Amino acid sequence: MDSITKNLPASIETDRLVLTTPTLAHVPEMAVLANSEAIYSVLSRLPHPYAQSDGKFFVESIARGDSEFAWSILLQDKFIGVVGLHLFADKPAELGYWLGEPHWGMGYGSEAASAVVAAARNAGFVTLSACALTTNTASLNLLRRIGFSQTHQGPGPQGTNAGAPTTFMRLDFANGETT
C-alpha cells in the first residue's frame, strides 16, 4: 500500500472545503465535536468520551500511519470533521468519515468524501470499500450518492458496533463507476 498512498495528495481543495493533514492545532475542536454520543453510536473506532488526548493520539499515531491516510475537513479554516482511507494489505481501502453534528445535512460529508474518492482514483486505487450501520441511512445515502453500491449486509466487523447490522458497500473504478 505504501507506493499507492504516496500518490495521495497531502491536501485537497473543494468548492467549500479544504482537506488537509490533521495537526495538533485541530485537536481542541476535534475533541469538542467528536465527544458526541450521536457520532459515537454510529462509528466503530471512535472512543467515547472523546478527550483532547484521544485527538492528540489520532494526529500523532494514526492519521498518517501505516494503516490510515486521513484528512482534517476544514470549512473557512475551521475544523469540522475527518475523512480518510483505512488501508489493508489484503483487501480494498475503506473510506471513512465523520462530521461534527453542527455540520450535518449541509452536503459537507458528500463533498469531502467525493474529493477523497477522486484522489484515490487518481492515485491508482482500483476499488474502495465502505460500510455503515444499516440504521445509518444518512451515511448510506451519502455513499450511494458518490457512487458506492451495496455488496451485502451482515454483522459489523469491529469496535463499538461489532455484530450490529451493517451494510457493506464497494466502488470499483475498473467497472467505470465514478463519483
Structural domains present in the chain: 2-175 (3.40.630.30)
For residue range 40-74, list pLDDT tens digits in order.
Answer: 888 877 888 999 999 999 999 999 988 999 999 99
pLDDT, residue 23, reads 98
For residue range 134-179, list pLDDT tens digits in order.
Answer: 999 999 999 999 999 999 999 887 777 777 889 999 999 986 554 4
Mean pLDDT of the chain: 92
Q: Kindly state the average pLDDT of the residues 90-106.
A: 96
User: Residue 22: which of 142, 139, 160, 33 has the closest Cα?
Assistant: 33
pLDDT, residue 33, reads 97
Q: For residue 158, what is its C-alpha cell? A: 469491529
